[in-house]
Structure 1
Amino acid sequence: MTAPRTVLLTGAAGGMGTLMRELLPPYGYRLRLFDRRPVDRRTSENAAGEPDVITADLADRKALREAVRDVDAIIHLAGISLEAPFEKILRANIEGTYHLYEAAREEGVRRVVFASSNHAVGFTPRPADGSAAIPVDTPHRPDTYYGLSKGFGEDLASLYWDLHGIETVSIRIGSCFPRPTSVRMLSIWLSPADCARLLHAALTAPDVGHTVVHGSSANTRLWWDLSTARALGYEPQDDSEPYAAELVAAHGELDPDDPEHAHLGGAFCTDPPQWPH
């Protein structure tokens, strides 16, 4: 029997990390879990026994290097996932991602999956009904300091590919929740099961160099192009449309004249940015 591949999962105590701790091991991965908050081992299945758990901050470069050592790949989810003062975004999302890539370089890890975000291009106008989907080569148009940090992460991944040969798939994640919670989310929802499918494809596709993909399910109301994700072998199985009637009845269809609905980033494009993600 082939030993399972060991994958470092940063941000393992977060919302998406918690979902992936359950959904990734059936693909044959042995997860090593990293977060600055404690992770309950009892809630984490694994392909090969109890997971390794490392409780440390991304600023702890010694702990991070130890976490990276001897892993086959890294899924980088850690960081602040909403808008915050620039100093906090700088430390967690920008410096923290740099520290991760330096640890990967030092330990010879050759594959990273980076959790980017739709907010890296949040000020891109959302497509009108029936118009062409937003292409993956859309230039960075961040809507927040958070979105700015995700654009930085994509560019850092590109640099480490060109300079050090570390391959990365940067996934511009829409909204990964068990179910969509807003009308906007109907267009960018990534079901947890599809998220695991996409991460698996990103970990196993050959010769990715630095590839940017959009991360969502096969939604009827999809706003963006999934072709680069599908080229990795990703085959989304879910669609947000079964939730549409309830959400539209409660909130109405998106009003194109509402500033919150004019851009891909939604309410993140307002001043100050509004939630949820």
Structure 2
Amino acid sequence: MAEVPAGPRRTILLTGAAGGVGTLMRGLLPAYGYDLRLMDLVAVEGEPDAVVADLNDAAALRAAMRGVDAVVHLAGISLEASFEQILHANIAGTHALYEAARAEGVRRVVFASSNHAVGATPVPSAGALLAASAPHRPDTYYGLSKCFGEDLAQLYWDKHGIETVSVRIGSCFPEPTTVRMLSIWLSPEDCARLFDAALTAPGVGHTVVYGSSANTRLWWDLAPARALGYEPRDDSERFAEKLLAEHGPLDPANPDHALMGGPWLGSPPLWPH
């Protein structure tokens, strides 16, 4: 359980509040001293005061943004879809969010990016870690939208002074369900720790970090996330024996195992992260 910090509570706009990660964060972030204003395209179960609106509804978004201290932006399509669907929800929707933040004077965003922004990058060799500075290599329209979001965050920092931490989230579930997830798992508790660090670290400008727990089989360099004050406490290794017995080890010759995005370059790529 997080210790509630001293001082006044901060109000955070949580978009995508009805989704998988949003639901987890609704239960975990308040312990860090945040009051959550919830927004989603669909009703949020048990939350009658949540804002139900499309991000591209400028008036509704401006109203939801008004008076908040920061934004945790989780909204959007979380799997591959047609370009038109991704364009509306993930690209135009994220642009609308930054415009509303600019107009309402909100100066900190935590953007839910994804490992699929670098999904076509080969998995690093044993003992190596992929840097957050690795160039974009999206594996899908979904991954492309996350590249756009990261670049948009950079633009709004350079042009408008809105700070963003873009978190390339791996697999945020209560436990990993595949052998591949052993390397990219982000426990819900570590996700809340990382979001809290991203919301409170000073002078972030636009910072890209990977969202992972301290996994024994880690593929990513977590140094930039740790520099924000993130201290991961969980490790997927406790699930390894069971998953390896069920699925066997990863095969470097299998394209689904050799790339950072896993099977997402296939068609249709609808598997978990």
The two structures have a TM-score, normalised by structure 1, of 0.95
Output aligned runs, 1:240-251, within 5 Å: 240-251=236-247
Distance 2:257 2:112 in 1: 24
* In structure 1, distance between residues paired with 2:107 and 2:46: 27
Equivalent in the alignment of 1:136? 132
Structure 1 position 3, deviation (Å): 2.7
Contact 1:117–1:171 (CA under 8 A) maintained in structure 2 = yes
Quote the residue 1:113 is aligned against: 110
CA shift for structure 1 position 240: 0.1
Tell me if structure 2 keeps the 8 A contact 1:134–1:223.
yes
Q: Deviations over 1:107-141 (max 9, x none)?
A: 000000000000000011001223x1001100000
What is aligned with 2:76? 79
1: CA distance between counterparts of 2:98 and 2:20?
Answer: 23
Q: Distance in 2 between matches of 1:271 and 1:92?
A: 21
Task: Report deviation, 1:262.
Answer: 1.1
- What SS does the aligned partner of 2:271 have? coil
Amino acid at match of 2:64: A
Match for residue 46 of structure 2?
Answer: 41
Q: Distance in 1 between matches of 2:205 and 2:46?
A: 34
1:99 Cα deviation after fit: 0.2
CA contact (8 A) 1:8 1:73 kept: yes
Are residues 1:17 and 2:22 paired? yes
Partner amino acid for 1:36? Answer: L
Q: Secondary structure at the match of 1:32?
A: strand
1:219–1:241 contact (8 Å) kept in structure 2: yes
Query: Could you say which residue in structure 1 is the equivalent of 2:37?
Result: 32
Residue 157 of structure 1 contacts residue 168 of structure 1 at CA under 8 Å; is this kept in 2? yes
Aligned twin of 2:3: none
Q: Which amino acid in the other structure matches residue 219 of structure 1?
A: N
Give the paired residue count: 268
Which 5+ residue runs of structure 2 have no aligned equivalent? 1-5
Does the 8 A contact of 1:127 with 1:223 survive in 2? Answer: yes
Report the CA distance between 1:161 and its aligned residue: 0.1
- 1:8: which partner in 2? 13
**Does the CA contact (< 8 Å) of 2:171 and 2:272 recur in 1?**
no
- In structure 2, what is the equivalent of residue 56 of structure 1? 53
Residue equivalent to 1:127: 124
- Percent identity over paired residues: 72
Q: How does 1:197-208 map to 2 (within 5 A)?
A: 197-208=193-204
Q: Quote the offset at 1:2 in angstroms.
A: 3.3
Secondary structure (helix, strand or coil) at the match of 1:242 reads helix
* Residue 167 (structure 1) aligns with: 163
Residue 262 of structure 1 is matched in structure 2 by 258
Distance 2:248 2:195 in 1: 33
| Runs of 4+ that moved beyond 6 A | none
- 1:276 CA displacement: 2.1
Q: Is the 8 A contact 2:79 2:270 kept in 1?
A: no
Q: Which runs of 5+ in 1 are unaligned?
A: 43-50
CA contact (8 A) 1:259 1:270 kept: no
Which residue does the alignment assign to 2:96? 99
1:31 and 1:52 in contact (8 A); partners too: no
Aligned to 1:157, which of 150, 153, 165?
Answer: 153
Q: What TM-score comes out, normalization by structure 2 length?
A: 0.96
Q: Distance in 1 between matches of 2:66 and 2:225?
A: 28
After superposition, the C-alpha distances for 1:188-244 in whole angstroms (9 at most, x for unaligned) are 000000000000000000000000000000000000100000000000000000000
Counterparts of 2:260 and 2:101, CA distance in 1? 32
Residue in 2 that maps onto 1:45: none
Partner of 1:210: 206
The residue that corresponds to 1:66 in the other structure is 63
Q: SS where residue 261 of structure 1 aligns?
A: helix
**Cα RMSD after superposing both structures:** 1.1
CA contact (8 A) 2:79 2:269 kept: no
Structure 1 residues 69-116: Cα deviation after superposition (integer angstroms, max 9, x where no partner): 000000000000000000000000000000000000000000000000
